[in-house]
Structure 1
Amino acid sequence: MHHSANEKNIILINDYFATLASGDMKKFSSFFAKDVVWHQPGKNKFSGPKQGFGEIGAMVGGMMQDTKGTFVVKQTGQPMANGDLVSVHVTFTGSKSGTKVDMTGHDLFKIQNNKIVEVWLFSEDQSAEDSFWDHK
């Protein structure tokens, strides 16, 4: 069966979220192009562009450390593809030092040659997310 580019990209992103849920960072890193750019939104300690998987992995590791492993991102519904772009509704939850985050967001991926080359994240309530990550 021949998959269209849209279908291939959707399969890739479904695999990406399954791998993220399993916590297999080695496999997770394999989804990204070497020169991937990740745009982390907001004005908190994790915000700003990350270049290459080293920086992305360090950010994800920092989020896990901060939340003692409680931070979870889940896709809600099927990814939507339009050419090189795949958009996914997500929910993310976590807790740290008595505060919790539980909100929806949107992840936008740009895919080329079966690798993620760019990622943009959008959060439903950015100021609440900022105060969660910067909460001591």
Structure 2
Amino acid sequence: MSAGVMSEQNINTIRNYFKALESGDMETFAAMFADNVVWHQPGNNKYSGDKQGVAEIGQMVAAMMQETQGSFALKTQGDPSANGQLVAVPVSFGGEKAQQTMQMRGTDLFRMNDGKIVEVWLFSEDQRAEDQFWGI
């Protein structure tokens, strides 16, 4: 498969990932990941650190949703771009809890293999503010 075809396939997978996430289709969201996926959650807060596998990722997302009473949301802010196995997406995300509000931009970076997400890195525009929002 040529690099251009692979990049387009990876971009389509990531577009479907965000559609599933934004619509709350957690079954499709989970199906986008390889079994041995590693998720690198940045910062110094209670959700920071590496998550191994879909179950740990799902537990983290569910906890974030519960803590924000369902207000936590993530949206793309531009088209995904690919470079071989890597796909980067500009995003915005935020939520509300206990009279605190967080809203910021960032970049999500995905490493793909055979049409599945095998590794995820998240970058926030203000990690300190995100850490303060989530707490320890």
TM-score of the alignment, normalized to the shorter chain, above 0.5: yes
For 2:6 and 2:122, how far apart are their aligned partners in 1?
22
CA shift, 1:5, in A, is 0.7
Aligned to 2:61: 60
CA shift, 1:134, in A, is 1.2
Q: Which runs of 5+ in 1 are unaligned?
A: none
| C-alpha distance after superposition, 1:51-107 (max 9, x if no partner) | 000000000000000000000000111000000000000000100000000000000
CA RMSD of aligned residues (A): 1.3
Aligned to 1:14: 15
TM-score normalised over the length of structure 2: 0.96
One-letter amino acid of the structure 2 residue matched with residue 101 of structure 1: M
Aligned to 2:102: 101
One-letter amino acid of the structure 1 residue matched with residue 49 of structure 2: G
Aligned to 1:90: 91
Aligned to 1:41: 42
The structure 1 segments of at least 4 consecutive aligned residues displaced by more than 6 Å after TM superposition are none
TM-score normalised over the length of structure 1: 0.96
CA shift, 1:112, in A, is 0.2
CA shift, 1:25, in A, is 1.1
Aligned to 2:32: 31
CA shift, 1:27, in A, is 1.2
SS in 1 for 2:78: coil
For 1:132 and 1:11, how far apart are their aligned partners in 2?
32
Aligned to 2:133: 132
For 1:43 and 1:34, how far apart are their aligned partners in 2?
26
One-letter amino acid of the structure 1 residue matched with residue 88 of structure 2: S
For 2:7 and 2:114, how far apart are their aligned partners in 1?
12
